[in-house]
Amino acid sequence: MPEAILFGAMKTNITLIFIFLGLVTWQCTKIDSSDRKLSLKESLEESIAKINTALDKISVSNGYKLLSVTEEGAKSDDIFYDSIDLKLIAGIYKFQPDTVLRHHFYFPYKLFKKTGTSDQLIINLPEKMVFHPKKLHLYKLKDPVEKNNFKITASEYHFYYNWWNNFDYKLFADLALNSEDIGSMSILSRGKPLSGSKYSAKYAFPEGYSITKFGQTGDTTRMSFALSEDKDTLLMETIMFLGDGFKRKEKQYILTVGNVDIKRSTGIDSIQVFLDGVLQKKAGARIIDNTDYNSSICYKRDILLTFDDGTTAKLSELINPAHETLKTLVKSLGEMYFAKHIVDYIALNIYYNSR
């Protein structure tokens, strides 16, 4: 065989061998990196990054702007002992005040005009009255009527209340600003003085994130909230108490951060930390409280984590400044600001001025 041909064949074989070895090495590296199990610290850092990203995006949304409305920007509560069902107020309405003085103390003027029929409650009003409820509650006839660019579409709604403090409330509404979806809100609340109460609320953002809050009172009190992205839970806290009021005693506490669970239960001396359901024997956590009442990470509670390498970190610092956004969301859902000061006020105005 000529030397040139032999040399060419050897060069080709060597090149093929290097290509093969390169492919094997790349494939092994790919398998090793994807299959490598993250440590507790790495898993927590990854989960915290997702939480901070979610809260950063939420904080600049119109949905968050809506949920940020607090008691300071709304009228004080008025108590109505009445029952309103969706079918009694269903229809399409727009904000168009009537100058005819009515004889109802709370609603002297009819603020909304019915413009069409529907089996839902569809309300169109200026955005300033949503983001500044006092402008709705204390509206003056001389004030100019602005564009009705905020839309509330309530497919479910009822408001039942009586003198014995029995109540049953339900709301599901889609919300839009300038014809763009800004999210949906669902609330279910019911209770009786002797048997306790139950409450759940959720706000779903169009970006795929959602915040939920749940509460239940009775022999056992339970409170929880969760921040989710689509079907994945990014952060969830659950607290269970025995007893009621200031005498209640914490029975169980669970904080879930991605695939990390931090648990404290009665009868267990230490706080347990789990990674993917496996108890971590070298890692630890210490719950820092200024009070035993309503001790949530959104109020007075903080958690000091100790990792396998001996380093420590406070949860509040890991999710700061997004922590303030989380506190606002959880508080708003618990107090039902938007539902009470906007939806209920409008529903009552329509109801009392249609009789």
| Model confidence pLDDT, tens digit, residues 74-126 | 544 555 667 889 999 999 999 999 877 776 667 778 899 999 999 999 999 99
Both 100 and 174 in one domain: the answer is yes
- Whether residue 25 is contained in a domain is answered as no
264 with 288, same domain: the answer is yes
**How far is 263 from 306, CA to CA, in rounded Å?**
14
- 11 domain-assigned: no
Going by pLDDT thresholds of 50, 70 and 90, the confidence category of residue 4 is: very low
pLDDT at residue 208 tops 90 = yes
For 313, the domain range is 38-57+214-320
> Given a cut of 70, is residue 1 above it in pLDDT?
no
Q: Which of 164-173, 185-194, 253-262, 292-301 is predicted with the least confidence, judged by mean pLDDT?
A: 292-301
CA 7 to CA 20: how far, in whole Å?
20
Q: Is residue 222 a part of any domain in this protein?
A: yes
Report the pLDDT averaged over residues 255-277. Answer: 87
The answer on 351 and 307 residing in a single domain is no
Residues 251 and 312 in one domain: yes
Residue 249 covered by a domain: yes
| 293, pLDDT greater than 80 | no
26 within a domain of the structure (yes/no): no
CA distances from 277 to 56, 62, 227, 263, 308 (A): 29, 37, 20, 11, 17
Instruction: Give the residue from 337, 344, 348 showing the smallest Cα distance to 132.
Output: 337
pLDDT for 292:
57
Write the DSSP symbol of residue 101.
Answer: -
Same domain, 296 and 342: no
The per-residue pLDDT for range 18-72, each reduced to its tens digit, is 444 444 444 444 334 445 688 889 999 999 999 999 999 999 999 999 999 875 5
Decide if 186 is inside a domain.
yes
Same domain as 327, residue 182: yes
Answer whether residue 14 is part of any domain.
Answer: no
| For range 223-240, the mean pLDDT | 95
Same domain, 86 and 159: yes
What's the confidence (pLDDT) of residue 159? 87
Measured from the Cβ of residue 84, the count of other Cβ atoms closer than 10 Å reads 19
Q: Are residues 326 and 311 in the same domain?
A: no
Instruction: Please tell me the predicted confidence (pLDDT) of residue 19.
Output: 43
Do 117 and 92 touch, CB atoms closer than 8 A? yes
Same domain, 311 and 355: no
Strands 196-204 and 180-192: antiparallel
3 state SS of 349:
helix
For residues 185 and 277, state if they share a domain.
no
Better pLDDT: 100 or 239: 239
What's the domain count of the chain?
A: 2
- How confident is the prediction for the chain on average, in pLDDT? 83
* Angle, helix 40-59 to helix 322-335, in steps of 10 degrees: 60
pLDDT computed for residue 214 by the predictor: 94
Is the pLDDT reported for residue 340 higher than 90? no
User: What pTM, to 2 d.p., does this model score?
Assistant: 0.83
| Residues 299 and 330 both lie in one domain | no
Question: In this structure, are residues 93 and 302 in contact, taking their beta carbons and an 8 Å threshold?
Answer: no
Residue 29 lies in a domain: no
pLDDT for the residue 157? 96
Handedness of CA 33, 36, 37, 41 (dihedral sign): negative
Check whether residue 169 and residue 51 sit in a common domain.
no
**According to the model, what pLDDT value does residue 246 have?**
60
